Every structure is written in structure tokens, then in C-alpha cells.
Amino acid sequence: MVARLVNLTKDYHLGNNVVVRALRGVTLEFTQGDFVAVMGASGSGKSTLLNLLGCLDRPTSGQYVLAGRDVSGLEDRALSRIRSRYIGFIFQSYNLISQLNVLENIEVPLSYLGDDSPAAHRRCVRLAQLVGLEDRLHHRPAELSGGQQQRVAIARALVNNPHIILADEPTGNLDSATGREIMELLDALHRTGRTIIMVTHEPNIATHADRIVQLHDGLVADDSRAVAK
């Protein structure tokens, strides 16, 4: 078991005594090698769930156990350490640093770990090669296509050898052909035993997953194994 959520809730207080209940008691388990697609309508709680899984936020109540440790009530500094060691993020908008080149962007998570060793640098070069960017190491994001930028984001997500890769609409800003290339790359990572949890609203993208979790109004409406690929 890589991660377990038990009766997780998340409330947002908007002022004037207005409370939005984004998650209403979610219980889920994720095991090593899972490829899970999280789906649901806008407002169903997908983004909130991903933020909690990524230790970007804390639940209002309930338990979140990551890599055997209860992280539900940790303070911001401790959550930051957990993120840097256990989580890899892939964002719809790539979230690359425009002033840095490809290799430097891949290396960013290592700066939070305080690892600037030659071995870490070589690992970043190998990851760039893995995602097909060995000839773009010194290009900046503005000099790359959307698909190339997402490949940088995938390499960056892998650099800390995370327990879980969280992907938030990873093909959302890409044309269909480039989106297929990115999903083929995620499929290849999954075949190596990586655990991937992906939010998507596209049914054809969700078919790449082994398991589909449907959220509705902050609750798990369905949790089932996908049809064999």
C-alpha cells in the first residue's frame, strides 16, 4: 500500500458563514504500480483530492497515510519535505520556470533536497534522454513545443524517484496527436512499476488507466477496474 485515505473531508470557508464541502468522506487505497484515473464533473472534488494527495493542502478531517506515515496533520514545513521526497507532479500548464533551460528545470526538485552532486546531475541528463529531449537540454521553455514542455515536466516529476506521480489533466493543453504521445510515455512509466494517479475529464485518456475512480459531489461514486487495454 502506497497511500490510504480514510473518511477524508475538506471544507473551504468562504466568509459570511459560507462553507463549501469539497470532499465529504473519501476512503481510497492506492497500491504500488496502480495507474488510476480520477474523473468527475466540475466541482466533484477532483482537484481537491489531488491537492491532498500531493500534500499541497491538509484535510479538514480524516486520515491520509503516505508511505506508512500519517501526514494528515503535519505543518507546512513537514508537508514540504514529504512532497519533495515522495511526490512527483505533472501539471496541465507544465509549470516550468521560463528563465531556466530544460536540464535546469528537471533539476529543480533536487534543489529542495539539497542534492547538487554529479550523480544527481547525471540522473537528470538520463531522464531528459528517457523522455526524448537529449538534444534540447539547453533550450528554454519558450523554445519548446507544448508536448516537449510536458516531457520536461514528466522528467522533473521523476527526478526524486517518487512513490507517487500525480498528473493533473496532463494532456489538457495538447492537441490529440501530442496527447497520445504523452500518454504512451506515461504508459511506459507505468510498465516499469510506477504508481500514477491522474485527474482527467477525457474518457479516452482514462482508458490508459487500470482503475477509474468517479467522484460526485465530494464522494466516491464508483471505484472499478478499467476494461483490459
Residue 9 grid cell: 473531508
Question: With contact defined as beta carbons under 8 Å apart, do 163 and 147 qualify?
Answer: no
Domain ranges of the chain: 3-225
Neighbours of 54 (CB within 10 A): 20
According to CATH, the topology of domain 3-225 is Rossmann fold (3.40.50)
What count of residues does the chain have?
229
Which pLDDT belongs to residue 179?
96
For the stretch 135-147, pLDDT in tens is 999 999 999 999 9
Q: Is the pTM of this model over 0.85?
A: yes
Query: What's phi and psi for 89, nearest 5 deg?
Result: -110, 135
Per-residue pLDDT band for 113 (boundaries 50, 70, 90) equals confident
Question: With contact defined as beta carbons under 8 Å apart, do 174 and 158 qualify?
Answer: no
For the stretch 200-214, pLDDT in tens is 999 999 999 999 999
Helix, strand or coil, per DSSP, at residue 98: coil
For the stretch 9-53, pLDDT in tens is 999 998 888 999 999 999 999 999 999 999 999 999 999 999 999
**Mind giving me the DSSP string for 111-146?**
HHHT---HHHHHHHHHHHHHTT-TT-TT--GGGS-H
Neighbours of 194 (CB within 10 A): 21
